[in-house]
């Protein structure tokens, strides 16, 4: 039986970042010398029970590309993966919606929202960045050497590449952290760029896109760790 990993997102051929994600899926198979079926499943068609229970996908990769066609369905998929310990990696829009789902269902912030979708919401967990990160690069510092992120990267510093304009609203840091969402990296100007849930087998979100730093010769370590964990699932 072929190992399968679901990519939750609305593929748009206009965005080169999504082509880079596809490139990284091919590169990781060559690197691991293992056949893996990576399937894009549109946000408005995704059904967690069908995907994970019937079709036996072993992991969930939440792709960039927000606003998604069906934000509520994305949040449902994230909740299912979080509660059922399905290895999950979310980048850019994935990072943003993983935070919103956690805020709603764990922190009790029922009106948690994304400024891109509902800019007038009183509870904007995801806000517009002061400076856009579309096509930008940053140097990040790993905050905790006991984190899963540090264990994967084995370095205190990393180069991150982006294609986004929205990020975490730091106003909610304390409540997210107190409920088990661990912020794991920070930019030189003090903005948080990744998180994890340490009690989960693999539940990591990054505002940066590891596919943009992944190459044929050296697949990104975060992608390697995610895929390896999923294959063990």
The number of residues in the chain equals 233
Output the tens digit of pLDDT for each of the chain's 233 residues: 789 999 999 999 999 999 999 999 999 999 999 999 999 999 999 999 999 999 999 999 999 999 999 999 999 999 999 999 999 999 999 999 999 999 999 999 999 999 999 999 999 999 999 999 999 999 999 999 999 999 999 999 999 999 999 999 999 999 999 999 999 999 999 999 999 999 999 999 999 999 999 999 999 999 999 999 999 98
* Cβ atoms within 10 Å of 201's Cβ, excluding its own: 15
Residue-level pLDDT at 1 = 78
pLDDT of 204:
98
pLDDT computed for residue 233 by the predictor: 84
Instruction: Provide the number of structural domains found in the chain.
Output: 1
Strand partners, 124: 113
Distance CA 206, CA 222 (A): 10
Which pLDDT belongs to residue 156? 96
What was the pLDDT predicted at 128? 97
- The burial of 146, by beta-carbon neighbours within 10 Å (0-12 exposed, 13-18 middle, 19 or more buried), is given as exposed
Domain that holds residue 25: 3-232
Residue 65: closest CA among 36, 45, 86, 90: 90
In angstroms, the CA 157 to CA 87 distance is 24
Q: Which residues contact 37 (CB under 8 A, 6 or more apart)?
A: 2, 3, 4, 5
CATH at residue 36: 3.40.50.880
Under 8 Å between Cβ of 204 and 148: yes
């Amino acid at each position: 039986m072929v190992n399968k990993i679901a990519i939750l997102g609305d593929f748009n051929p206009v965005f080169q970042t999504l082509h880079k994600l596809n490139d990284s899926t091919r590169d990781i198979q060559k690197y691991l010398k293992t056949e893996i079926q990576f399937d894009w499943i549109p946000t408005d068609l995704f059904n967690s029970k069908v995907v994970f229970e019937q079709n036996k996908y072993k992991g969930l990769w939440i792709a960039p590309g927000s606003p998604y066609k069906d934000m509520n369905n994305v949040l449902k998929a994230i909740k299912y993966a979080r509660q059922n310990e399905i290895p999950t990696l979310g980048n850019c829009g994935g990072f943003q919606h993983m935070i919103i789902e956690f805020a709603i269902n764990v922190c009790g912030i029922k009106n948690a929202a994304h400024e891109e979708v509902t800019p007038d919401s009183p509870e904007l967990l995801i806000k517009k960045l002061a400076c856009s990160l579309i096509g930008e690069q940053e140097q990040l510092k790993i905050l905790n050497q006991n984190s899963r992120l540090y264990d994967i990267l084995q370095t205190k510093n990393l180069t991150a590449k982006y294609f986004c304009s929205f990020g975490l609203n730091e106003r909610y840091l304390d409540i997210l952290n107190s409920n088990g969402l661990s912020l794991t990296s920070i930019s030189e100007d003090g903005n948080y760029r990744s998180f994890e849930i340490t009690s989960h087998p693999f539940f990591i979100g990054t505002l940066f896109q590891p596919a943009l730093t992944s190459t044929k010769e050296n697949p990104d370590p975060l992608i390697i760790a995610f895929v390896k964990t999923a294959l063990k699932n």
